[in-house]
Amino acid sequence: MTTTANHAYGYTDLPELMGLMTGDEKHSPAATSTLDALWVLHDRVLRVSPETADDPGRDRFLLSKGHGPMAYYAVLTAKGFVEREWLTGFGSYDSPLGHHPDRTLVPGVEIASGSLGHGLPLAVGTALGLRAQRLSDPAVWVLVGDAELDEGSNHEAIAYAGPAGLERLHTLVIDNASATWARPGGIAARFEAAGWSAVTVDGRDHEALYAAFTAPHPGRPHAVIARVEPKTS
């Protein structure tokens, strides 16, 4: 739980916060595919708060899959980065909250995203930049979609980060089986073949997500594949 000016928000408040953006408290599974993983990550794993949002030593979370960011904005609101009042203006001309997030407009947002395949390469660069400054503590997390992994830029990043031993780099793949051509052998196998640590979990199971997020992975980057309901269900 995080205390903001007027309210203490928890996981159970997230549907209501999302409803402020959409006018609907009942979301399809696809719209909330990221919700549980985002919540567990921000609530229990990431070491960053509105007070430390500019601290060089903070953990970084990069939302690469910028489409459908309602769950992201709801979690950022719950954690005090975004004001609740902003949510009702979602997507309007005067709102800082677009249908794709912009890092220059929203506190706590590390990258502006929307176009797929940019977050993981940016995360690789960020991890390299922190390492070059001897900032070995901060973790870098990037969230991608399973279909987003089709982008060649992600293949470049995965293939490089494993052999480069980027231990502080973490990729969270939300797998709602939306790729038109599924990856033979599964998503985890793709990361493992490139020298990553990888674990696949139920993307709705908070304890399983937490265990996967915090699993040790010495000398290697780490991928968590969070399986949720198929997009078409």
Partner 1 sequence: MDSMRDRFAATTTRLLDEDPSLAVVLAEISADRFEQAGRDHPDRVINVGIREQLLVGVGAGLALAGLRPVVHTFASFLIERPFEQVKLDFGHQDVGGVLVSAAASYDWPAGGFTHMAPGDVALLDTLDGWTVHVPGHPDEAETLLRHAVAAGDDRVYVRLSEQANTSPVKVDGEHFRTVKEGRSGVVVAVGPMLDNVLRATEGLDVTVLYATTVRPFDAEALRAAVGPGPAEVVIVEPYLAGTSTGEADTALLDVPHRVLGLGVGRAELRRYGQIEEHLAAHGLDAVSLRGRISGFLSLPEGGA
Q: At what angle do helices 152-161 and 119-132 cross, to 10 degrees?
A: 30
Task: Provide the minimum distance between the beta carbon of 47 and partner 1 in the complex, in angstroms, as a whole number.
Answer: 16
Residue number, 24 or 55, with CB nearest to partner 1:
55
Residue number, 156 or 192, with CB nearest to partner 1:
156
* Residues lying near partner 1 in the complex (CB under 8 A): 56, 103-104, 110-112, 115, 117-118, 120-133, 152-153, 156-157, 159-160
Give 182's DSSP letter: P
Residue number, 20 or 173, with CB nearest to partner 1:
173
List of E strands, 69-179: 140-145, 169-175
Task: Provide the minimum distance between the beta carbon of 190 and partner 1 in the complex, in angstroms, as a whole number.
Answer: 16
Task: Provide the minimum distance between the beta carbon of 93 and partner 1 in the complex, in angstroms, as a whole number.
Answer: 19
Of 65, 57, 45, 63, nearest in space to 106 by CA: 63
Give 111's DSSP letter: S
Give dist(CA 161, CA 182) in Å, integer.
Answer: 22
Residue number, 23 or 152, with CB nearest to partner 1:
152
Task: Provide the minimum distance between the beta carbon of 76 and partner 1 in the complex, in angstroms, as a whole number.
Answer: 18
Give dist(CA 58, CA 48) in Å, integer.
Answer: 5
